[in-house]
């Protein structure tokens, strides 16, 4: 784990779970798997606090535990999973676009709580949806469970590994590894308990708190006098599947920009058809015959069979190899190449953006040139890129120092004499990707820190404005006059308001930047992962 | 060692091949670390706006706000104040560290993580243990009760039994307690002893307030 990753994980844990969890997570990340007492010693916290923190981390799948043969239990943090916290908004948004509001809320609840049983998730979401509806309307559980089932069928959520049936006498009953394998085929099986009920709305009375309590007691008495039927079966979000979805989106966008909207739709259809049949990490989808594709095209697109064939042929011939022809049965079978290696260009564009920003468009030109030609000498670079020698040198060295390009030696003579060796510049994709990724982690960490700093600086002002808001709200509820409200509003002076505005604008900008950098992180990470999977 | 004496400044490879011609002035050596904030040569491209970006921004801030309110956000215990005040006794303090505010499924966690809260008040153990109808998940219920105790002040044993019957069979832990219902030993409303430290309730449904 690099320092940058560690720092980012730290910040994310602290922002979302508090300092105690951050300390524990930090200790685990820096020193690897260890048992409880070592953790307590290392962090200097109270044992109870550490236990609580571990429960939280395990609940959210950010750490795991393993029973050691000697009887102690070792805990390990999952750094890659912690970094995913950055991507939570993207997951939720994807669920919204695919499955609407119930989908969005279901994924959000699962992310907020780490894992939930189906009954609880459905109940919570139904309640939330009910609250947003007008008076008198409620949301039925069946609607939400329908969405839940669809999410599970398309693998966006999956079951957590379950505890084995037989009680173990070991001190730490961990779900052993085999249990997970068995659950593979059950992983997306939705239990069908009869979830009967409707979303409950909070009763609003004068004293809102009291009403809240009453409603809660009501809920509890009605619903849960015995253990829910799907006790012990918990669900969690499946980030891999979301990543697959994002990758598909990127592919479709790339194809659409190469050909046109319809071409993009064709590829999207192909991808959708092979969503669940493609093993993760495969380089190609299963071959699909053009007849099948034709049948599965969305209804709105009136693309004739011939046109479809033309598109497929066009895509198959494209040098970028998005689509490959794999056979002729059924009118020609095609596969979509989904290995990120083929999306070199896509990723290169990301690096290009960096080059442009940091180094300028001419550096970007050199970079692209090297990508295309693979190996070039210093002189050739100057010639092909049409850049004066001095500047070309300067840019090349800068890129070299940043590891975006590297030197390849080709000796002419066995003694590797420098005057008789070719030195060729080349782009090493993986190294460049790693370097950029490291930079991205650093940027996000910096952004988060800056945002926290801004918030801290204006803490007093923020608190004051929150108090004023609360007073205003309560006054409005009790029906105060406009003059009184105005008076309360005046408590925040003009310059203070401006300060608040500026703060809000800055924080929003920083947040949006974090989201943006995370997109780049996703592309780079997927690329690096795919290069590591290659045999 | 470095090239000293004859031929100072020579490198092992042919300098010309890399492009530094003879007599070209090399840049001066750097004698200090690079500046902390190097000058920005060109401005960054503007952030992509649009509906999607806006929505994700709102989602992100909402997520952050929501997570702070969940029991998974562990706040460190309130610092001990220098002087013990009378009103401390009646403060509804936030849950002390040793209690866990949510109910994980203990079957899925290592046993050692279960927090056995030590009882500070006398005589509690006796009335609870013999009760058989709390058998469902006795440990869990006891723990729930213990954590509830922490949130309240002194509780007599009768009220404990009363609480037990209420709690029995309920899955979720009741967090808000009606102070008037479970008042003990004082005729005053608990908020009477508000020493002004928490001003203004947190409004839960301020959804359109940006989170900072």
Higher pLDDT, A446 or A478: A446
Q: Which residue out of A13, A51, A461, A492 would a mutagenesis test of the B interface target, given it has the greatest number of B Cβ atoms within 10 Å?
A: A51
**Token code pair at residue A446:** 């910096």
Say if CB A63 and CB B102 are below 8 A apart. no
The architecture CATH gives domain A341-427: Orthogonal Bundle (1.10)
Name, in order, each residue with C-beta under 8 angstroms of A137's C-beta and a sequence gap of 6 or more.
A130
Confidence of residue B81 (pLDDT cuts 50, 70, 90): low
CATH code 1.10.10.10 for A3-77: yes
Angle at A435 between CA A431 and CA A438, to 5 degrees: 140
pLDDT of residue A355: 58
Nearest to B55 among A93, A234, A508 (CB): A93
Closest alpha carbon to A337 in A301, A276, A288, A303: A288
> Domain ranges in chain A?
3-77, 239-338, 341-427, 435-533
Cβ–Cβ of B200/A174 closer than 8 Å? no
pLDDT of residue A89: 93
Which tens digits make up the pLDDT trace of A96-111? 999 988 899 999 999 9
φ/ψ (deg, to 5) at A77:
-90, 150
pLDDT of residue A28: 92
The residues in A 424-443 lying below 8 A from B, measured between CB atoms, are none
Q: What is the mean pLDDT of chain A?
A: 77
Q: Does A301 touch chain B (CB under 8 A)?
A: no
The string of DSSP codes covering A462-517 is HHHHHHHHHHHHHHHHTT--HHHHHHHHTTS-HHHHHHHHHHHHHHHHHHHHHHHH
The percentage of chain B sitting over the pLDDT mark of 70, rounded to a whole number, equals 30
**Token code pair at residue A326:** 């794999």
Nearest to B209 among A90, A226, A469 (CB): A469
Nearest to B115 among A48, A160, A508 (CB): A48
Q: Does A61 touch chain B (CB under 8 A)?
A: no
**Residue B27 DSSP code:** P
Residue B103: its chain A contacts at CB < 8 A?
none
Q: Which residue out of A49, A89, A202 would a mutagenesis test of the B interface target, given it has the greatest number of B Cβ atoms within 10 Å?
A: A89
Rounded to whole angstroms, the Cα distance separating A486 from A44 reads: 50
**Token code pair at residue B113:** 């993580």
Domains A3-77 and A239-338 are alike in CATH topology: yes
What does the pLDDT average to over A89-99? 92
Say if CB A302 and CB A356 are below 8 A apart. no
Confidence of residue B42 (pLDDT cuts 50, 70, 90): low
pLDDT of residue A280: 57
Higher pLDDT, B120 or A454: A454
Nearest residue in A to B20, CA atom: A393
pLDDT of residue A519: 86
**pLDDT at B153 exceeding the cut of 50:** no
Across A252-285, b (16+ Cβ under 10 Å) vs e yields bebbbeebeeebbbbbbbbbebbeeebeeeeebb
Cβ–Cβ of A423/B17 closer than 8 Å? yes
The string of DSSP codes covering A312-367 is HHHHHHSTT-SEEEEE-TTT-EEEEB--GGGGHHHHHHHHHHHIIIII-HHHHHHH
**pLDDT at A273 exceeding the cut of 70:** yes
What does the pLDDT average to over A422-440? 84
Interhelix angle A3-17/A47-59, rounded to 10 degrees, is 100
pLDDT of residue A413: 84
Higher pLDDT, A338 or A311: A311
Higher pLDDT, A84 or A347: A84
**pLDDT at A210 exceeding the cut of 50:** no
Which tens digits make up the pLDDT trace of A154-193? 888 888 876 655 444 444 444 433 233 334 555 666 665 5
Rounded to whole angstroms, the Cα distance separating A337 from A326 reads: 11
Rounded to whole angstroms, the Cα distance separating A329 from A291 reads: 10
**pLDDT at A392 exceeding the cut of 50:** yes
pLDDT of residue A394: 85
Q: Which residue out of B27, B110, B115 would a mutagenesis test of the A interface target, given it has the greatest number of A Cβ atoms within 10 Å?
A: B110
User: For the CA atoms of A513, A515, A517, A518, what is the dihedral angle to 10 degrees?
Assistant: 170
The CATH class for the domain spanning A239-338 reads: mainly alpha
**Token code pair at residue A202:** 């909070």
Q: Does A48 touch chain B (CB under 8 A)?
A: yes
Nearest to B19 among A114, A393, A514 (CB): A393
**pLDDT at A416 exceeding the cut of 50:** yes
Higher pLDDT, A191 or A128: A128
Cβ–Cβ of B13/A421 closer than 8 Å? yes
Q: Which residue out of B72, B118, B190 would a mutagenesis test of the A interface target, given it has the greatest number of A Cβ atoms within 10 Å?
A: B72
Nearest to B42 among A357, A473, A515 (CB): A357
Q: Does A419 touch chain B (CB under 8 A)?
A: yes
| Least confident piece of the model among A229-243, A400-414, A481-495, B68-82 | B68-82
Rounded to whole angstroms, the Cα distance separating A371 from A242 reads: 30
The percentage of chain A sitting over the pLDDT mark of 90, rounded to a whole number, equals 15
The residues in A 101-160 lying below 8 A from B, measured between CB atoms, are 108, 111-114, 160
Q: Is B185 left (phi over 0), alpha (psi -120 to 50) or beta?
A: left
How far are the Cα atoms of A89, A101, A188, A370, B62 from residue A96, in angstroms, in the given order?
A: 10, 6, 20, 41, 15
| Least confident piece of the model among A1-10, A255-264, A331-340 | A331-340
Nearest to A51 among B17, B20, B113 (CB): B113
Closest alpha carbon to A36 in A62, A4, A2, A71: A71
């Amino acid at each position: 784990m690099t320092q940058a990753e560690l720092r980012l994980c730290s910040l994310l844990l602290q922002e979302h779970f508090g300092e105690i969890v951050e300390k524990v997570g930090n200790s685990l990340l820096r020193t690897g798997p260890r048992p409880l007492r070592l953790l307590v010693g290392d962090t200097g916290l109270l044992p109870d606090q550490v236990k609580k923190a571990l429960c939280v981390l395990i609940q959210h799948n950010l750490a795991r535990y393993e029973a050691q043969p000697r009887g102690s239990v070792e805990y390990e943090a999952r750094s890659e999973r912690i970094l995913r916290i950055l991507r939570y908004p993207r997951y939720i948004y994807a669920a919204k676009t695919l499955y609407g509001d119930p989908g969005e809320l279901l994924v959000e609840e699962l992310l907020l709580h780490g894992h939930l049983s189906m009954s609880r998730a459905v109940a919570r979401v139904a309640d939330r949806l009910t609250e947003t509806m007008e008076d008198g309307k409620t949301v039925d559980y069946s609607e939400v469970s329908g969405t839940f089932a669809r999410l599970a069928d398309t693998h966006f959520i999956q079951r957590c590994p379950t505890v084995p049936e037989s009680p173990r006498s070991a001190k730490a009953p961990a779900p052993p590894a085999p249990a997970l394998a068995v659950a593979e085929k059950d992983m997306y099986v939705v239990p069908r308990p009869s979830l009967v009920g409707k979303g409950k709305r909070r009763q609003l009375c004068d004293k809102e708190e009291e009403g809240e309590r009453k409603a809660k007691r009501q809920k509890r008495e009605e619903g849960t006098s015995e253990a829910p039927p799907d006790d012990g079966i918990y669900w969690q979000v499946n980030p891999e599947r979301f990543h697959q979805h994002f990758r598909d989106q990127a592919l479709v966008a790339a194809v659409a920009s190469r050909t046109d909207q319809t071409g993009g739709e064709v590829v999207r259809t192909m991808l959708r058809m092979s969503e669940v049949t493609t093993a993760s990490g495969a380089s190609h989808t299963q071959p699909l015959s053009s007849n099948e594709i034709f049948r599965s095209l969305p209804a709105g697109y009136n693309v004739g069979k011939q046109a479809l064939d033309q598109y497929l042929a066009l895509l198959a011939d494209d040098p970028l190899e998005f689509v490959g022809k794999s056979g002729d049965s059924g009118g020609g079978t095609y596969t979509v190449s989904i290995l990120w290696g083929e999306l070199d260009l896509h990723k290169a564009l990301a690096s290009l953006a960096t080059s442009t920003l940091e180094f300028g468009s001419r550096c970007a030109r050199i970079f692209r040139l090297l990508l295309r030609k693979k190996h070039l000498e210093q002189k050739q670079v100057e010639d092909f890129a049409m850049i004066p020698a001095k500047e070309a040198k300067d840019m090349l060295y800068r890129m070299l120092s940043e590891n975006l390009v590297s030197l390849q030696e080709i000796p002419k003579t066995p003694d590797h004499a420098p005057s008789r060796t070719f030195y060729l510049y080349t782009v090493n994709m993986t190294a460049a990707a790693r370097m950029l990724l490291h930079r991205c982690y650093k940027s996000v960490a910096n952004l988060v820190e800056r945002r926290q700093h801004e918030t801290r600086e204006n803490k007093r002002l923020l608190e004051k404005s929150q108090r004023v808001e609360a007073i205003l709200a309560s006054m409005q509820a009790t029906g105060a006059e406009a003059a009184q409200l105005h008076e309360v509003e005046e408590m925040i002076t003009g310059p203070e308001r401006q300060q608040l505005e500026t703060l809000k604008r800055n924080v929003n900008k920083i947040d949006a930047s974090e989201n943006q950098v995370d997109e780049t992180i996703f592309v780079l990470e997927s690329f690096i992962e795919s290069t590591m999977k290659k045999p | 060692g470095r090239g000293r004496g004859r031929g100072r400044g020579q490198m092992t490879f042919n300098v010309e091949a890399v492009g530094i011609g003879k007599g070209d002035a090399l840049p001066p050596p750097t004698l200090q670390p690079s500046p902390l904030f190097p000058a920005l040569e060109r401005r960054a491209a503007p952030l992509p706006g649009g509906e999607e970006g806006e929505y994700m921004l709102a989602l992100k801030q909402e997520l952050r706000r929501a997570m702070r309110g969940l029991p998974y956000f562990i706040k460190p215990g309130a610092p001990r104040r220098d002087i013990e005040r009378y009103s401390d006794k009646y403060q509804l303090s936030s849950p002390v560290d040793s209690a866990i505010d949510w109910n994980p499924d203990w079957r899925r966690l290592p046993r050692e993580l279960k927090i056995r809260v030590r009882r500070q008040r006398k005589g509690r153990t006796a009335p609870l243990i013999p009760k058989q109808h709390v058998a469902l998940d006795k440990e869990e219920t006891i723990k729930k009760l213990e954590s509830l105790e922490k949130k309240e002040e002194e509780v007599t044993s009768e009220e404990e039994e009363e609480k037990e019957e209420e709690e029995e069979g309920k899955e979720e832990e009741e967090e808000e307690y009606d102070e008037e219902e479970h008042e003990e030993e004082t005729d005053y409303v608990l908020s009477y002893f508000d020493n002004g430290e928490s001003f203004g309730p947190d409004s839960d449904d301020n959804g359109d307030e940006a989170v900072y």
